[in-house]
């Protein structure tokens, strides 16, 4: 009688999942959230939208995603994140197709509504949950590795989108990206992820689940502090990133140079996350988050102090991006560290609702500020928000008994 094949080990599924998720996450972010940075003028002229209205599309996506994040998180914990991610790819494709044929504001905002469903079902939280369901409490390293790919989304897709726009126009570019999600990302999610995150595949991890650092009776205060850290840091990164090219133009850079310097955000983010992996044995996740919380305001101060010019622009982008790259890791890994792996998707869903509402208004808020107070005023507001995030992080470190070094 032939031997029955043993089921694949979680480690094997994890090794296959990381490059798959790396590509699909980079594609998801690069073809949705980062589009207005390149297409804001086209959206405005062709669809009759003001610049703040263009960035309000991102707000719609974040609000929709936030509103369904908690029930989607529960469903992922029950059914497996990988089983829902192909549906998310289909939603992103539907949004891009709708955008390609849009003739006015209604279709434009409908497209961003589709993106909101796609974000909840197949972007960051879903990907992190899939890895956690495969690796349990040991998923932190895998999440950071995944973020090495995600951090390159702007570096790959800003120049690619700019080039495609010049070759075929923005509408055909959106159709090309829609096809990529249907023909590549959706099958990848279905083939490589669904089986690795089912209930049966997760049963072996249940005995390994460990509680987080925060005891149940103190989680209320911890949740408030985490929400402040994530909300304020995210208010800066979600809002400012979409205006980096415009801000760099105010540094005296031409359009092509501004895109090139802004694209350094990807390598800087990649370097920050590589450092996080390399120093994982010597720097705790809390200490890494504290470093992130310090680098972001430092970069903003440098932008305000150094003035215009290519060198100043590069220094600002690199230091700022090192900080935002690390704080993005913290948003995914701190809940795992502080609360534990059990019900991780649900935990992320609960945190998503308040924080993502802040993220939702951020791009539009920064857009309005760009019109009224200019780049310097925007940088000052971002600096204040990043300092509030740093203050909350200091309190969270004291609460967990973590030292700064």
Q: Over the stretch 321-330, which tens digit does the pLDDT of each residue have?
A: 999 888 888 8
CB atoms inside a 10 Å sphere around CB 71: 12
- 230, 242, 392, 396: which is closest to 327 by C-alpha? 230
Query: For 305-339, how does the pLDDT look when each residue is reduced to its tens digit (9 = 90+)?
Result: 887 888 888 999 999 999 988 888 887 777 777 76
- 31, 26, 32, 54: which is closest to 41 by C-alpha? 54
Least confidently predicted of 209-218, 243-252, 344-353, 396-405: 209-218
Calculate what percentage of the chain has a pLDDT beyond 90.
37
In this predicted structure, what is the pLDDT of residue 160? 95
In this predicted structure, what is the pLDDT of residue 4? 39
DSSP letter at 309? Answer: S
Once rounded to an integer, what is the mean pLDDT over residues 135-158? 78
Least confidently predicted of 147-156, 203-212, 345-354: 203-212
Query: For 88-122, how does the pLDDT look when each residue is reduced to its tens digit (9 = 90+)?
Result: 999 999 999 999 999 999 999 999 999 999 999 99
Q: How far is CA 18 from the centre of its chain?
A: 16
Q: Which residues lie below 8 Å from residue 263, measured CB to CB, with a gap of 6+?
A: 154, 155, 158, 159
- 296, 371, 289, 285: which is closest to 336 by C-alpha? 285
- 269, 376, 258, 274: which is closest to 324 by C-alpha? 269
Asked if 113 and 61 count as a contact pair (C-beta separation under 8 A), the reply is yes
**Terminal-to-terminal C-alpha distance of the chain:** 60
- 211, 208, 160, 136: which is closest to 30 by C-alpha? 160
- 397, 376, 352: which is closest to 116 by C-alpha? 352
Q: What 3-state class would DSSP assign to 64?
A: helix
- pLDDT greater than 90 at residue 173: yes
Angle between helices 105-122 and 81-100 in degrees, nearest 10 = 160
The backbone torsions φ and ψ at residue 358, rounded to the nearest 5 degrees and listed phi first, read: -65, -45
What whole-number distance in Å separates Cα of residue 401 and Cα of residue 21?
Answer: 34
What six digits make up the tokens of 88?
Answer: 């998310």
In this predicted structure, what is the pLDDT of residue 3? 41
Once rounded to an integer, what is the mean pLDDT over residues 284-296? 85
Compute the radius of gyration of the chain from its Cα atoms. 20
In this predicted structure, what is the pLDDT of residue 349? 79
Q: Within 264-373, where are the H helices?
A: 265-278, 285-306, 310-339, 344-372
DSSP letter at 340? Answer: B
Query: Which residues, in sequence order, are bridge partners of residue 211?
Result: 340
């Amino acid at each position: 009688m032939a031997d029955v094949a043993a089921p694949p080990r979680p480690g094997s599924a994890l090794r296959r999942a990381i490059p798959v998720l790396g590509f699909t996450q980079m594609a998801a972010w690069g073809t949705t959230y980062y589009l207005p940075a390149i297409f804001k003028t086209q959206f405005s002229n062709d669809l009759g939208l003001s610049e703040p209205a263009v960035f309000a599309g991102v707000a719609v996506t974040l609000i929709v995603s936030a509103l369904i994040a908690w029930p989607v998180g529960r469903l992922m914990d029950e059914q497996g994140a990988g089983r829902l991610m192909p549906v998310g790819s289909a939603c992103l494709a539907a949004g891009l197709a709708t955008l390609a044929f849009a003739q006015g504001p209604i279709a434009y905002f409908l497209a961003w509504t589709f993106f909101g469903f796609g974000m909840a079902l197949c972007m960051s939280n879903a990907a992190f949950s899939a890895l956690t369901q495969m690796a349990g409490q040991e998923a932190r390293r895998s999440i950071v590795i995944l973020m090495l790919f995600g951090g390159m989304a702007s570096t790959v897709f800003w120049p690619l989108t700019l080039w495609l726009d010049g070759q075929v126009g923005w509408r055909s570019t959106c159709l090309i990206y829609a096809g990529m999600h249907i023909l590549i990302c959706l099958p990848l999610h279905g083939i490589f992820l669904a089986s690795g995150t089912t209930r049966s595949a997760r049963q072996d991890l249940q005995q390994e689940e460990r509680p987080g650092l925060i005891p149940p009776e103190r989680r209320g205060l911890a949740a408030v502090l985490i929400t402040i850290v994530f909300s304020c840091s995210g208010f800066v990164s979600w809002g400012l990133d979409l205006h980096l090219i415009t801000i760099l133009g105010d540094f005296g850079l031409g359009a092509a140079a501004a895109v090139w310097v802004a694209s350094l955000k990807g390598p800087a983010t990649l370097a920050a996350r590589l450092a996080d992996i390399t120093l994982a044995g010597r720097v705790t996740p809390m200490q890494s988050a504290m470093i992130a919380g310090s680098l972001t305001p430092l970069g903003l101060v440098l932008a305000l102090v150094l003035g215009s010019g290519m060198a100043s622009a590069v220094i600002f982008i690199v230091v700022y991006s090192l900080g935002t790259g690390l704080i993005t890791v913290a948003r995914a890994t701190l809940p795992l560290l502080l609360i534990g792996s059990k019900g991780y998707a649900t935990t992320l869903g609960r945190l998503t609702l308040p924080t993502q509402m802040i993220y939702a208004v951020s791009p539009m808020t920064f857009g309005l500020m760009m019109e009224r107070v200019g780049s310097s005023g925007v940088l000052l507001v971002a600096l204040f928000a990043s300092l509030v995030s740093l203050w909350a992080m200091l309190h969270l470190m004291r609460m967990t008994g973590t030292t700064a070094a």
